[in-house]
Chains A and B, each alone.
Chain A
Amino acid sequence: MSILDSKIPEGPIAEKWTNHKNHLKLVAPNNRPKIDVIVVGTGLAGASAAASLGEMGYNVKAFCFQDSPRRAHSIAAQGGINAAKNYQNDGDSIYRLFYDTIKGGDYRAREANVYRLAEVSGNIIDQCVAQGVPFAREYGGMLDNRSFGGVQVQRTFYAAGQTGQQLLLGAYSALSRQIGLGRVQMLNRHEMLDLVLVDGKARGIIARNLVNGEIERHSAHAVVLASGGYGNVYFLSTNAMGSNVTAAWKAHKKGAYFANPCYVQIHPTCIPVHGTNQSKLTLMSESLRNSGRIWVPKKKEDAEAIRAGQLRPTQIAEEDRDYYLERRYPAFGNLVPRDVASRAAKERCDAGFGIEANDTNEGVYLDFASEIKAKGKQAAFAQGDHDPSEEKTIELGKKWVEEKYGNLFQMYEKITDENPYETPMKIYPAVHYTMGGLWVDYNLQSTIPGCFVAGEANFSDHGANRLGASALMQGLADGYFVIPYTVSNYLADEIRTGKIPTDSPEFDEAEKNVKDLIQKFLTNNGSKSVDHFHKKLGLIMWNKVGMARSEQGLNEAIQEISTLRDEFYKDVYVPGNADELNPELEKALRVADFLELGQLMARDALHRNESCGGHFREEYQDAEGETLRDDENYKFAAAWEYKGMDINQSELHKEDLKYEYIKIAARNYK
């Protein structure tokens, strides 16, 4: 075990980033076209990084597995993006955003990175508006804000329930501009299948052209991984079907440490599971918690009657409802952080108050009736009607709700066939985001020189729990405002290197390994589909490495995944050929990596003998069921070094987390 150097610059926290930037090395404009950079992934982090690096004049190649860079899963982010603009004059500041993020992450994030994130947050909004991103505005023409979980100010900028879409299309437009100018070469429908190291440095990747199956070699002086999170290890999650860990995992196997893999965000407001053929879960934005109240019946018999279809939620009297978040956390109410809200829902359902008639009775209500009345009344007043009828109030209230959340309500109705304007939504927690990821230093460089990691794929900013509307902020901060500086600093030493050849033994070997694995899958001749194994893995992960974990369950998970992995290699059937579009082959290659990652997540969760943020160990809770951290022994980021398929060989490295500007304390949202 070694202690990791995070390369945090000296000086007061508010000056670190500025000072650091002032001393980073530069590459002169005439040298930049001689240098190649690869960017993997075109979500917010990847698209913004590729656009920025292209704009600076580097030779950029960008890769995505989708048919267009505009499809990356950032597009599905709904609620908003945080920025410490204090436009609402409600006491916001860079320090407060920094503080909220550290506290929300349960004191497991790196101070210097989070401060930088808060510091550049305002520039992101300026940049996006300049690019023509149509944020929601007030009647005076100014930008509108709303509130998100874990904070007491309104700092979230949004575009209806489609903020991620608008921001990604903004970054995509910047990227498109560079592609049009010939500074970025875009490779759609390509998947990275290995990272190539030459003399210990990241020098390129092996990618598969998903249309014709060709295995291609691409060299570069630096590689930026912006390939997203690994939530699909659970099979069911809010991630897109194609989201995967392969790019990050291959880098891990080549020497990049993987940090805090057990920190997974289970989002409290998703549509509950309905059946065994279900392929994914759908999120209902956290922004709905601004207007919706979460409850279950107070009486068990009411919950049972609802599940049996004998009672409707609207028939439950106000005094018979348990608004459990408002009851337990009066200061933040329905807007507690995600991990807290998710556990509270699980607690009620485990106690028998769940209202969904599925196998597990897992579901709670998110009710808009109070908000519809309140906003309807406001709207009537604004029209000069100071004594509106009930009917008119509700009509106006529904209109208000439709304007704010229309697309989410429509999405809900299409999936469930129920009208959420009339009856409360049913929701339940689901896997949504992964705070863990490849370990990076302050410069976002992994433990492999020349391999940088941005966005959800790295581990750096959210600690053990991410606050709502902060993922978009981090993706764009990394891509627009950090990577261009820090990658240039690295590349300053590469101006004399010249083109990296792709006919080296390192490329030969990497390509051969990829081709061998593909061949193995296609000739395996097993009896079960890839999904069969992926679903099994997902169940192990959800039940034993999910919202509540125990020593026994985690040990079982490690064992069960070993067995499942052996079965997978023995019995998986992958139809089709290597030299064609072959979605089953793509899935097999991804699931192979999930089957290794899942074990590391369990091992990480097992070693962390405390509860913090999204990591909840049943053994470590207080009398009220709140997380019990152990700062004395676990105030560090756990970075794992790959040592072969046997997970017990993986070596732990620690980065001690120092809190110099925030007093570390128990999280309290009461």
Chain B
Amino acid sequence: MASKFINITLKIWRQKNSQAKGSMETYQLDHVSTDSSFLEMLDQLNEQLISERKEPIAFDHDCREGICGMCSLYINGRAHGPDTGITTCQLHMRMFKDGDTIYVEPWRSAAFPVIKDLVVDRSAFDRIQQAGGFVSVNTSGRTIDANSIPVPKTDADKAFEAAACIGCGACVATCKNGSAMLFVGAKVSQYALLPQGKVEAKNRVLNMVRQMDEEGFGNCTNTGACEIECPKGISLENIARMNREFLSAAISSEN
């Protein structure tokens, strides 16, 4: 790892709180190691701002290894920045050149209001999950033995691939319609593919889609941008599966 150092210009969205009007501000940051992650670069900028007695930039982050889904950021017009299959915390400064200007914005979506600077409120995702993203089984541990229902490996693998969604919201931020259908489709698919989830499949898809609509997310028009920007490579097939599940539930449901 031969590290280099670069100097960059940052244009970053600053917004005092959810009510305030925001704007892009310009910052100069020198001597950034190309081995640093993007968020470590922001740490460095914040240290600089603190030393200048200016208010540091608020951004969401936690695990910094691409799994908790807390980091977001729209970087140079792309969710999670100019690399594929990663979250912002896994983006490294070696993707940028000396003298680059980098634009950093929060997720933009009606359903994800800005809280401050680059921090947005994604609790709409939690509410969709609460509407039906579970199997209604009590936590007694007195269920049947884990191996009593064999699950074909291909189904288990597909369910896992759908369940790998980290709930970061890049799909919504990327979609021109602000649609959450990749997120919801992944959750619906995980359960639809497993025998344990089939019992409640109809109600689940109807309830989750209803909540999704109530939260103000847009509709899917099959552009596929979400799939490209998804850090976990969640497939569009999941949206198709959700649509099939929804259609069949809607015409056969007794509710």
Residues of A at under 8 Å CB distance from B?
A: 48, 51-52, 55, 66-73, 75-76, 85, 87, 120, 122-143, 159-160, 162, 164-166, 169, 172-174, 176-177, 179-180, 186, 188, 211, 238, 240-242, 274-275, 277-280, 282-283, 309, 357, 410-411, 414-418, 480-481, 484, 529, 531, 573, 575-576, 580-581, 583-584
Contact = CB atoms under 8 A, between A and B. Distances in A.
Given A73-B63, A414-B90, A581-B119, A132 B135 contact: yes
B130 A275 contact: no
Identify whether the interface residues of B are mostly helix, strand, loop, or mixed. Answer: loop
B90 A415 contact: yes
A241 B64 contact: yes
Given A66-B70, A166-B163, A529-B47, A76 B65 contact: yes
In the complex, the 8 A-B pairs of residues with the closest C-beta atoms, listed nearest first: A141-B150, A123-B141, A180-B130, A173-B134, A130-B143, A134-B160, A134-B159, A129-B146
B214 interface: no
A141 B67 contact: no
B174 interface: no
B139 A70 contact: no
A88 to B, nearest CB: 11
Interface string B1-28: 1110000000000001100000000000
20 contacts: A55-B138, A68-B123, A71-B63, A73-B62, A122-B146, A126-B146, A127-B141, A132-B190, A137-B153, A141-B151, A165-B166, A180-B130, A180-B132, A241-B62, A275-B3, A278-B36, A411-B66, A481-B141, A575-B54, A576-B56
A405 B58 CA distance: 34
A27 to B, nearest CB: 16
A132 B134 CA distance: 8
Nearest to B150: A141
Contacts of A73: 62-63, 68
B240 interface: no
A591 to B, nearest CB: 14
* Most chain A beta-carbon contacts within 10 A, residue among B36, B69, B129: B129
A277 B33 contact: yes
Nearest to A173: B134
Interface stretch (B37-45, B98-106, B219-227, B243-251): B37-45
A132 B126 contact: no
A213 B36 CA distance: 31
B184 to A, nearest CB: 14
B130 A177 contact: yes
Given A141-B152, A142-B150, A177-B130, A581 B116 contact: yes
A274 B137 contact: no
A411 B90 contact: yes
A315 B66 CA distance: 33
B155 to A, nearest CB: 9
Contacts of A70: 69, 126, 129, 167
Nearest to A575: B55
Given A129-B146, A160-B164, A415-B37, 7 more contacts: A179-B130, A188-B126, A242-B62, A277-B33, A279-B43, A580-B16, A584-B50
B126 to A, nearest CB: 5
A274 B146 CA distance: 43
A417 B63 contact: no
Contacts, number: 230
A136 B155 CA distance: 10
A494 to B, nearest CB: 22
B218 interface: no
Interface residues of B, number: 83
B51 to A, nearest CB: 7
Given A142-B147, A177-B130, A127 B139 contact: yes
B150 A52 contact: no
A132 B196 contact: yes
Given A280-B64, A529-B47, A584-B56, A132 B197 contact: yes
Given A66-B62, A134-B163, A278-B40, A141 B144 contact: no
A312 to B, nearest CB: 14
A131 B196 contact: yes
Contacts of B33: 275, 277
A186 B123 CA distance: 11
A361 to B, nearest CB: 14
Contact of A176 (B17, B90, B129): B129
B115 A177 contact: no
B115 A277 contact: no
A71 B92 contact: no
B136 A177 contact: yes
Contact of A55 (B65, B132, B139): B139
